[in-house]
Amino acid sequence: MAQQIADRRDIDFVLHEQLNVDQFSKSEKYAEFNKKTVDLIVSEARNLAVKEILPTRSEGDEIGCKFENGKVIVPELFRKPYELLCEGEWTAMPEDPDYGGQGMPRSVTMAAAEYFNGANYAFMMYSGLTHGAGKLVEAFGTDEQKRIYLKKMFTGEWGGTMCLTEPDAGSDVGALTTKAVPNGDGTYTITGQKIFISSGDHDLVENIIHPVLARIEGAPAGTKGISLFAVPKIRVNDDGSLGEPNDMSCVGIEEKMGIHGNSTCTLTFGEKGNCIGTLLGEENKGLRAMFLMMNEARLLVGMQGFACATASYMNAVNYAKERIQGRNLLEFMNPDAPGVAIINHPDVRRQLLTMKAYVEGMRSLLYYVAWCEDKADTMDDEKEKEKYHDLIELLIPIAKGYVTDRAFDVCNGGMQVYGGYGYIKEYPQEQLMRDCRITMIYEGTNGIQSMDLLGRKLGMKKGKLVMDLMGEIMAVTGAAKQIDSIKDYAVKLEEALNKLGEVAMHMGKIAMSEKVLTAFAFSYPFMEVCGDVVMAWMLLWRAKIAAEALEKAKKKDIPFYEGQLKSAQYFCNTVLPATLGKMNAILATDGAAIEIDEASFIG
């Protein structure tokens, strides 16, 4: 059975029927990206993913990266698809063509990214990290830094990373010890060590530019004294040619549960006292600069987790249709009854529908966040621009935290459908599950995402972000209530939304009280219920479109549209009632997690 990556019919539905991305071609910025062009882009991305990247997933996982004589060697079979990725200008799809990008809408890039990451996201991390590092250079670099670095990074000729984490300063970035000493000529000598650096060193490219967080000698303690530096693996001459190796090295790579094809490195800077970097942005504002890029990085992580989930779901559906095992339950007592495909068994159908609903809702959410950026880019009204940027800010913790949690659940379900075969390496499900797991941890653990949602996003602009989001959801519920086939689901979502408003006010209040620790003990459940409501919103929105389309649908499209109604029905009738129960628990805000004595945790 061939491995699957993504559902083209559903991708087209989100792009063209739900988000209407063709609207952006009416703007000067995206004038060339009409529906025909968008469809061509998605088709080309699919071809590259299926023919060139997907064949590297299993073997790349088995071979893994090697660390020999101080050098990191990636699987040899990565080289051809990497060259094709660069030749096709897929490494910086939404960026300025003058710097090697394609200048396409971000919502369209999500479709290509889904195919690429679904094919092998460990491989895609090399170009993904480079793009993120390039965005830092673009946003904060001097004209000279942009001239030297930017095009070579966006085209994939050079690589890039994000160097934050240290052995004793994981999520607590303010505790970092990496130092920067000014040399008097505009450069700095960097000394320190960074760990868990994805794509930190490898042989796919001839140079790697490392954005490194460090503290300038004499700077304030904590996060207020952190600066950001561009530190190349190989020094670059004024004319852009490569000079001498910088005083930095990879001292080891991690053996990991998943993403074996990506090098996770420990990097040492300045062992000989001669690691040279240049300031990227302003002194003592490095963390702020790095976090401006976090929205994009966290959305990418959500996509990585989701890409594993959608591939696992599609594999599971096809397997369930082909795997013959057991009689139909209605014929269970008939010894002569033939065996049936397992998709006929009620519990398997329940598992598949659960996976289907989450996969469809997650796809719509991730694409929607990118679409909000496109909307803001193509608007003149500053208040409307602000609204869409605010929606992105509020939804990012859900797009990263909630999505990767549910993506792992989907991968777990995908393994379960296969039964024992899902647990062995001969089939793709176990690797998808292993690869998915890290997405719940890096770029800020999902617990940190929930704290960001409660501690920062909930109260921003006196709650305006939350009110804007609720307004968007109410617009869908209001329209859906006018359609007989889905009005009951709209009522269920409306009830959950009203309850969520009550929960949000409660959480905001106790987070500002003496019970602040108890409030943050419930930040994760709060993120979960917010995510459930957002999923229901996306599924109801999809169901509304499908219900209207069914009136004049072609025969071949009827099952797809009817499936959208069933996804919304299942989620609103089966998942949302449990969500309301979670909300009641949050409103009770039991203090056991804070009150329990530390000694009580010892068995």
**CA angle 192-195-201, nearest 5°?**
95
Structure-token pair, residue 579: 């969500």
Q: Which residue has the tokens 């804070």?
A: 594
**CA angle 278-280-286, nearest 5°?**
120
**CA angle 572-578-579, nearest 5°?**
75
- Read out DSSP for 374-424? HHHHT---HHHHHHHHHHHHHHHHIIIIIHHHHHHHHHHHHHHHHGGGGGS
Structure-token pair, residue 148: 């030297």
Give catalytic residue positions.
443
The CA-to-CA distance between both ends of the chain, in Å, stands at: 47
Q: Is 101 exposed, middle or buried (0-12, 13-18, 19+ CB in 10 A)?
A: buried
Does residue 105 contact residue 374 with C-beta atoms inside 8 Å? yes
Structure-token pair, residue 85: 């990725």
Q: Alpha-carbon distance 67 to 163, whole Å?
A: 19
What interhelical angle do 403-418 and 523-550 show, nearest 10?
70
Structure-token pair, residue 414: 């995908």
Q: Alpha-carbon distance 190 to 328, whole Å?
A: 68
- Read out DSSP for 287-349? HHHHHHTHHHHHHHHHHHHHHHHHHHHHHHHHHHHH-EEEE-GGGTT-TTPPEEEGGGSHHHH
Q: Is 192 exposed, middle or buried (0-12, 13-18, 19+ CB in 10 A)?
A: buried
Structure-token pair, residue 222: 């904590």
Does residue 154 contact residue 95 with C-beta atoms inside 8 Å? yes
Q: Alpha-carbon distance 103 to 125, whole Å?
A: 21
Half-sphere CA count of 309, side-chain side, radius 13 A: 28
Q: Which residue has the tokens 């952190």?
A: 226
Three-state DSSP state, 180: strand
- Which positions ≥6 away from 272 have C-beta within 8 Å? 247
- Which positions ≥6 away from 501 have C-beta within 8 Å? 466, 470
Alpha-carbon separation of residue 596 from 515, 521, 567, 586 (angstroms): 15, 12, 41, 18
* Residue 332: how many other CB atoms lie within 10 Å: 10
Three-state DSSP state, 215: strand
Query: Length of the chain in residues, anyone?
Result: 603
Q: Alpha-carbon distance 117 to 528, whole Å?
A: 25
Alpha-carbon separation of residue 230 from 140, 280, 578 (angstroms): 10, 6, 48
Does residue 100 contact residue 151 with C-beta atoms inside 8 Å? yes
